Structure 1
Amino acid sequence: MIIVFDLDGTLIDSAPDICAAGNTVLAAEGATPMSLAEATGFIGGGAPLLIERMIAARGLETERHDAMLSRFLELYDDAVHLTQLFPGVEACLEKLAWDGHALGICTNKPESPARAVLDHFGLLPRFGTILGGDTLKVKKPDPVPLTTCIAALGGGRALYVGDSEVDAETAERAGVPFALFTRGYRNTPVDALPHAHAFDDFADLPGVIATYRGVPS
């Protein structure tokens, strides 16, 4: 079976690093820094949208977008030192790989920093395919990145695991069942998001997948 994961807010709590990089960019613009909660609320649509939201929140000139984005991306590959794996992620991925599942990443994080942070945690070899927000011409919630990721892993029965409104919409548009990690960066109540499963502990995910496959856990 194919299991595709989102990254920020799903496998990793990267908001502190994203906040720090964003605040470095804002400081260069003479703007006040973001709080962690504010930065977390901006995550999910990819780096260009993050910068757009930062500009709007600080009342900056929209013409500064490209320069701010360029500076942010310069910082992004090294934005790994404040990031942490959510508890149980490493053991969960090991179990899923041991059970023979094909694993992939479909994220709106640009591909280079996505690979950098996975490499930082020694997880890069776990994933057969990694699609970032700049890998294709479209990004989530367009379903094409997810369907492309699934096809690259051989096609067939699949499950998408994510944490946000964007992830839920992506899975729904792709016709792929969605498992919602409830400790991530969403702003919407769990019951308001379409999902096949919801979980708050990665120790439970292999059992969720076993149940989904119709195999006793």
Structure 2
Amino acid sequence: MTEYDIALFDSDGILVDPPAYETQVEATVTAFEAVGVTAVDQRHLDDIVNGTTVGRLQEICSVYDIDPETFWEARERHDEQSQFEKFEAGSRGLYDDIDALSTLSLPCGVVSNNHHSTIAFVLEYFELAPLFEVYYGRAKTVESLDLKKPNTHYLEKALADLEGESALYIGDSENDVVAAHRAGIDSVFVRRPHSTDVALSATPTYEVESLHAITDILNS
């Protein structure tokens, strides 16, 4: 088994519950309304919620004759606020196995496709900041959409900050596995309740069901 000197974690679906699809749709509808669009094709809502690209966002905005930058500013603002509200209301929270991370002695970081400012909120709100030396989420800009995993952009930033020789990335999606492998590091796929039936076309280095198993890998 490889000895690792860095551990990087996704946030949504690993540290905290992922945002509900319905919440993200509602925030997106509200953003469209903010720029004067009151009827939106469900396919366009799905594309935005499920992970749009810069090119697809521009296509969608052209259908409604709205400026992508203006719409995206509204969407990010409402999406982030909806996440804060769910955390504060207690309908999104930490996973029960988060306490396993307190046993780790190696440098740890967070790399997420969520907003950088939302990750900052999560770490402060749930008092997780002492567990992590660095964290990276994306900027709330149109350009950031093409930097999301499986792009290695933010993973590489965290790896450069921590300056380790052998890293492990822990996530709950195929994009996490692919991003790790593209960055030249090993991966862990955690089968949370929302990903129990996910079929992966990329093979993770490890597959586990809880963060306690991560500590077994890292502390072995």
Bucket of the pairwise TM-score, normalised by the shorter protein: 0.7 to 0.9
Superposed, 1:15-164 pairs within 5 Å as 15-16=19-20, 17-28=23-34, 29-31=37-39, 42-43=50-51, 52=57, 56=60, 60-61=63-64, 63-78=66-81, 79-83=83-87, 84-96=92-104, 100-134=105-139, 138-164=147-173
TM, length-normalised to structure 2: 0.73
CA displacement at 1:60 relative to structure 2: 4.8
Aligned residues: 200
Q: What is the RMSD computed on CA atoms of the aligned residues?
A: 3.6
Percent of pairs identical after alignment?
22
Q: Is the 8 A contact 2:156 2:183 kept in 1?
A: yes
Which SS does the other structure have where 1:80 is aligned?
helix
CA contact (8 A) 1:103 1:127 kept: yes
Residue 193 of structure 1 aligns with which residue?
202
Assess, with a 3 A threshold, how the Cα gap between structure 1 residues 122 and 179 changes in structure 2: closer, same or farther.
same
Query: In structure 2, what is the Cα distance between the partners aligned to 1:164 and 1:15?
Result: 14
CA apart distance, 1:185: 6.0
1:19 is displaced (CA, Å) by: 4.1
Report the Cα offset of residue 134 of structure 1.
2.7
2:109 alignment partner, SS class: strand
- CA 1:187/1:127 → structure 2, altered by over 3 Å: closer, same or farther? same
Q: Deviations over 1:72-104 (max 9, x none)?
A: 2223443223242452343022222xxx12110
Return 5+ residue gaps in structure 1 as ranges.
none
Q: What letter matches 2:103 in structure 1?
A: K
TM-score of the pair, normalised by structure 1:
0.74
Equivalent residues of 1:21, 1:76 under 8 A apart: yes
SS at match of 2:11: coil
Give me the whole-angstrom Cα distance separating, in 1, the residues matched to 2:98 and 2:41.
33
Secondary structure at the aligned position of 1:12 is classed as coil
* Structure 2: 5+ residue stretches without partners: none
Is this contact kept in 2: 1:164–1:186, CA < 8 A? Answer: no
